[in-house]
Structure 1
């Protein structure tokens, strides 16, 4: 039948760290987990927005155990600082790499990466890499959000930061393909070691979130008409919740909506395009990510 928030069990005693938790899918994931007793660390750029999200969550869960950690994935110095804070947590049960950008005009991170690849992939690679000793020791479940757009992605290693040419939609697909390649590769590497840590991937399908703010104006005009056919932010979070909590979820698997070509509906196993399973691409992306971020995971 598929997984929905109604299938979410008691999460008391567990700590969840979520990037981009103040809005959209991240907020709905944080809210659902807090309502089930989980301790939630909201990792966000803006403390004010994070505090607003925490107040909103407490309207549903008045005694929620919530914490803010400053994180700007577009700045590797901020990533390092956030990883340092998280490393002092008693235990992290689940790290959810949720935050992302979709089809903005050409922008660059503080270190000069194209913003979509920089935030969606390089920032999360650096955060996860810096935390790996702790994540492996804690037996953490690492969740990486990808997208159906990975099926249209192609990682142009010769111009990964779009210095020669920038196509916002193609770059988004590339960054989401990088997310899925990284997730599968990370899980395979973890499987060779003495750790219970695993990596699981998920995607929200078509979800009504703030990510749509950069879509062309004519698309945004039609969004109210399309709303009944797509996931709300709350239902778009179902695959993330499945990947993060369900005991049947396995490392190296991918979860998404079950209906209308994985665009909406309850969460279930999702299709992984063959381009995400290429070991040569995985190794090249891993090595390039180390070169770009100067973070070398202990794997």
Structure 2
């Protein structure tokens, strides 16, 4: 079964080799590649186009999508739905929700929609996209791939200064006030980790609702920690000089040695193979849940609390502008 695979953040460090792997090993799929900046002035988008050019005849298209703008997310979903209905795109096989945002150099940033930016890009916008498109998967089902990180588990990441958590008052997660302490690195990383925690907790609720809908039971959602990616551009974007230095002169050259201390440390290209194979269900075809690389794993205890999952589920519907009229997952509102 082939079909359409949507990849967000398609010009990222992991996505570009993932697309190369997809077009090489699974050429029957149609790839819809979403990036924030489609212009030739963006170096990363140029690299993406160069990767696609190595596969003449591939069924790919690049689309602009700014996940920090919920109106743009819903418009993108409308466009995909229209194309599938008209037959210009095959039904969906997978949504690969790769895009992310962090800022470790500035205080809390809000999007134009009024939400904390890391949370909106990583969690809210992807939830909106998934829930809008669930009714347009292939009849044989498909897969939703969400991206997590060891950062979502308190105490597991060396950059953590303030543990991630889901506050009882969820509005403080979506629209936090000023940082309680002037620490851009520590608080910025906490915001990123909270967003990763939110998307994992939400994933469990999504799987329950999918399993309750007879027509959607063959769609499975997984959240993957792809590993510690020593060559990721994230370590050089919106980061303090110290972290940029460590990325270039410690993490990358010493990766073979550091792997003894952190077995998940690897390159983006290595991780990209796992991600694509999960997306096309070449591995773990019927499985759901949390993975570290390709191994089933436990996620953070808070993410597995049913009450937390359900409260976050209901609040996410509100944040993402999902109604009974724009999703087929009707039991989501019971």
TM-score by length of 1: 0.86
How many residues are aligned here?
279
Match of 1:200 in 2: 222
Describe the shift of the 1:110–1:251 C-alpha distance in structure 2 as closer, same or farther (beyond 3 A). Answer: farther
Match of 2:36 in 1: 45
Partner of 2:291: 255
Is residue 172 of structure 2 the alignment partner of residue 159 of structure 1? Answer: yes
What residue number does 1:168 align with? 188
CA distance in 2, matches of 1:273, 1:218: 28
What is the TM-score of this pair, normalised by structure 2?
0.77
- Name segments (4+ residues, structure 1) moved above 4 Å: none
For 2:310 and 2:2, how far apart are their aligned partners in 1?
36
CA distance in 2, matches of 1:51, 1:25: 13
Question: 2:20, 2:51 within 8 Å by CA — same for their partners in 1?
Answer: yes
Query: For 1:280-295, what aligned pairs fall within 5 Å after superposition?
Result: 280-295=307-322
5+ long unaligned stretches in structure 1: 1-11, 258-266
RMSD over aligned Cα atoms: 2.1
Output the CA distance in 1 between the equivalents of 2:296 and 2:285: 9
Shift of 1:239: 3.5
Shift of residue 83 of structure 1? 0.4
Decide whether the 8 Å contact of 1:80 with 1:127 is kept in 2. yes
1:13 matches 2:2? yes
- Distance of 1:220 and 1:291 partners within structure 2: 37
Deviation at 1:60, TM superposition (A): 3.5
**Mapped pair 1:219 → 2:219:** no
- The Cα of 1:136 is off from its aligned counterpart by 7.6
CA deviation after TM superposition for structure 1 residue 216, in Å = 2.6
1:1-299 correspondence runs (5 A): 13-36=2-25, 37=27, 38-48=29-39, 49=42, 52-87=46-81, 88-89=83-84, 90-104=90-104, 105=106, 106-135=108-137, 139-152=141-154, 153-156=164-167, 157-160=170-173, 161-165=175-179, 167-194=187-214, 195=216, 196-207=218-229, 208-212=231-235, 213-223=237-247, 224-227=249-252, 228=255, 229=258, 230-245=265-280, 246-257=282-293, 267-296=294-323, 297=327, 298=329, 299=332
1:51 Cα shift?
A: 5.5
Instruction: Assess, with a 3 A threshold, how the Cα gap between structure 1 residues 73 and 138 changes in structure 2: closer, same or farther.
Output: farther
C-alpha spacing 1:108/1:137, structure 2 compared with 1 (3 Å): farther
Residue segments in structure 2 that go unaligned for 5+ positions in a row = 85-89, 155-163, 181-186, 259-264
